[in-house]
Amino acid sequence: MDNQKILERFFKYIKIDTQSNEESTTCPSTAKQLNLGKVLVAELKEIGLSDVSIDENGYIMATLPANTDKKVPTIGFISHMDTAPDFSGENVNPQIIKNYDGGNIVINKEKNLVLTPELFPELTEYVGQTIITTDGNTLLGADDKAGITEIMTAMEYLVKNPKIKHGTIKVGFTPDEEIGRGVDKFDVEKFKADFAYTLDGGGVGELEYENFNAAKLTVKVQGRNVHPGYAKDKMLNANLIAIEYNDMLPVNMRPEFTQGYDGFFHILKMEGTVENATLVYIVRDHDREKFEQKKKMALEIEKFLNNRYGEGVVKAELVDQYYNMKEKVVPVIHVVETAQKAMELLEIEPIVVPIRGGTDGSRLSYMGLPCPNIFAGGLNFHGKFEYIPLESMRKASEVIVKIVELYTSK
């Protein structure tokens, strides 16, 4: 696999703005995601895949036909095309730091933006490698255009090296993962894979098959606005009741105080007046029982405050978003074990960690497609400090090829 070709492919993708938009009701949420989609469709055909398609919702699927008569599972590899709404993905101007020396990396001198090993200690793991950063004005887009690059690179390698025997391989590229809709319209039946891997993880070696159970919590408070000079025993200040609701949630269950398997309540948004106030949270926990307890707590606080201020003053609405894929992956744990073995054979230390978030794979697993997550190599996603080592992308491509080889050799 040629590092320069990987770099060129990655740069081609990240220069196409594909930011998704959670306020949109269309699929894909932004038409500009289709600009990348058209490029990918043409490239999939060019490198020799068959059944290449893009549907009206922006979902891309393609097939690398088997080159062996041996009975081998059909394996899928999936990445998403959109970048996060959190930070601009327009006019991405990547910077290349060759043979990184382990020191500070100035990404924007005028803005005094510097990647330092003190703030980002994982940088020291990539001494001597080629680091790709932003210029401080946009995100980089390694999440998940690195994943797309790695899948494309691996597929091209397999096509050009037919001595590597493999079963049928499926490729999928999805829109809108960053806004939680990445597989809303994914056709698992059409994809026809026995299992799949998303290429959407972080640093080299990450392998994930556990993720949060997730819900969205919206708290609406109906106040009563009365002239403050005459408010005694009449006014209900929605802002203050909303603050009271938040203060009743455990402080130690905020994300800034949690790690590993710890769950949390995370307030995303708050707005209000004396008359009306709204709080929006995400609720997370790896353990399903603890997850349900957190949801119960949210409703008990609603009940307590309504007993204090009057029925209907506080309304807490919970919507489940996704569940822990572990329940669906463990029965076919070979998909994780094979990925681990592939990494070990490539002298990559597998880092099996729970995802403190979710991926398309978590929902796909509940749609009948067990789908653990493999590293894509990027770090500091969703912001101006995002970067990726070139060598990490190559290693991820090599892992894909090795997984394919291992299933054929069984």
Residue reference for tokens 């680091």: 131
Strands in 37-150 per DSSP E: 50-54, 60-64, 75-80, 95-97, 105-108, 113-115, 131-133
| CB burial readout 346-370, b (16+ within 10 A) else e | eebebbeeebbebbbbbbbbbbebb
Q: Which residues are catalytic, by number? A: 82, 177
Between the CA atoms of 180, 184, 186 and 189, what dihedral angle is there, to the nearest 10 degrees? 130
How many whole angstroms from its chain centre is CA 114? 25
Report the alpha-carbon angle 315-319-323, nearest 5. Answer: 145
Answer for the pair 299, 316: CB distance below 8 angstroms, yes or no: yes
How many whole angstroms from its chain centre is CA 11? 20
Whole-angstrom distance, CA of residue 269 vs CA of residue 272: 10
Q: Which amino acid is at 274?
A: V
What are the tokens at 403? 């997984």
Q: Which helix (H) or strand (E) holds 174?
A: strand 169-174
